[in-house]
Chain A
């Protein structure tokens, strides 16, 4: 398997559990382009986690195909397949008897890397996920906070530089403030790493924030819509999707766009509230409402005025 990002294809992938009525995943077909984040979202019973675990064969397919860079998963040796895919779960599943370093080095050790190589990789990854390579490497999982544990879980999944990452509600058990920070850092990391990621969540806001594409699954593991967040918010295919994304979907759509993306009138903005160009339209609108104003002055990071955005511009 390549170490660069891989394209992942679900082709009529189906899972039926023996003795249970109906499918858990029902003829799921979708393509995750290399280097993109695909978020699987939907109500419980929608088969999100099952679909995810089909990919690394923790759950065997009943019928259909899943291909990674054109090769069917069934054609890989199952151990090799799993070692080449990063896997992150909600409860993290760190090994309590191993230090942070031991945990992160698990797959590299299995792959037979030499000690020095592993040490360097661990230091690099700790830096990458925002932990202290000196202090934290010798800690045991019990000495870490929930957020730190999930960072270690992410570093461990990235250790052997997999082409594909499977993430099953990785931030689901973390308090909202830390979760938002981890989401931001994950996006920053992804800018750099450009992995192909399949990310399961039940939180629509998280899906909108993280996904390049979102797959909404409905009861019985059927795909309701697979589209960019923008498309899903602006053109839900049916009532189920519209209901699922929520009545505030217009506002959510605003949160996807930033002031800097607008055509700005270069009027002078004396006395207007000043907002940086990377503020979302949603936050800008909230400020206009709160301060009872009609326009803001958009400024660049160093504070230079870029132009004025009116309430109409935001809502256009």
Chain B
């Protein structure tokens, strides 16, 4: 199984317990003694790395997608090519993308982030453009008629009105990135993917580690989604009324 892995796993996963519990001896699904013992040295660091991977990917992805969307929104001729480019990136299987990038950037966080960022672009670009395009004509006409400049119209009218769509895009991109980032463990020992792979590589499959780490990844996605949903409601109170 490890033959096709790009990066090797760490040390032995089931550590040398002085007195392993009965649960661990039988490779149970949820051994609390392992959990408490290895929260500090395995799970917590992996969780924090995972959050970092996600934040950097979504942050950079949003920055790039926003700039591209501005171009596609302002000059409509660029919309189709830019959108097509984002679609294409999204369509490349993540493992294949990693393999393509490794010769260029090596087994590094950079490689992982390039891949993760390219997956956020499609979701974010499409949502930002759709949000900006959805601003009603009568609203734009009254803005122009009242003497808002092009920039004022963008900052005070178009951008706030696109905010719900943009935030919706951020939610989807964040949850998707949290999920895809587990695959980063093919390249680097970062994030929640690493313990998951370690569990899989353990002879007989280390069930507790698999379940707990997988569960953490799911929990992280749910929490991130809930936080962004709350932000959406707080930032765009008018949107619920429509």
Contact = CB atoms under 8 A, between A and B. Distances in A.
A81 B141 CA distance: 15
Interface stretch (B46-54, B70-78, B89-97, B147-155): B147-155
B145 interface: yes
A95 B139 contact: yes
A299 interface: no
A82 B138 contact: no
A89 B238 contact: no
Contacts of A78: 147
Given A97-B238, A140-B238, A89 B152 contact: no
A143 interface: yes
A83 B147 contact: yes
A84 B241 CA distance: 32
A83 B146 contact: yes
A110 to B, nearest CB: 6
A56 B145 CA distance: 7
Contact of B138 (A83, A91, A98): A91
B150 to A, nearest CB: 10
B221 to A, nearest CB: 29
A96 B148 contact: no
Nearest to A96: B238
A58 to B, nearest CB: 6
Nearest to B235: A97
Interface centre among A95, A98, A140 (most CB of B within 10 A): A95
A58 B147 CA distance: 10
A110 B142 contact: no
A93 interface: yes
B125 to A, nearest CB: 22
A105 to B, nearest CB: 11
Contacts of A141: 238
A107 to B, nearest CB: 5
A87 B140 CA distance: 13
Nearest to B135: A96
B25 to A, nearest CB: 61
A223 to B, nearest CB: 24
B162 to A, nearest CB: 10
Interface in B194-242: 236-239, 241-242
A266 B6 CA distance: 110
A13 B62 CA distance: 48
Contacts of A98: 238
Interface in A49-85: 56, 58, 78-84
Q: Which 8 A-B pairs have the closest CB atoms?
A: A93-B142, A82-B147, A91-B138, A83-B147, A87-B145, A142-B241, A93-B138, A140-B238
Interface of B: 136, 138-149, 152, 156-157, 160-161, 163, 236-239, 241-242
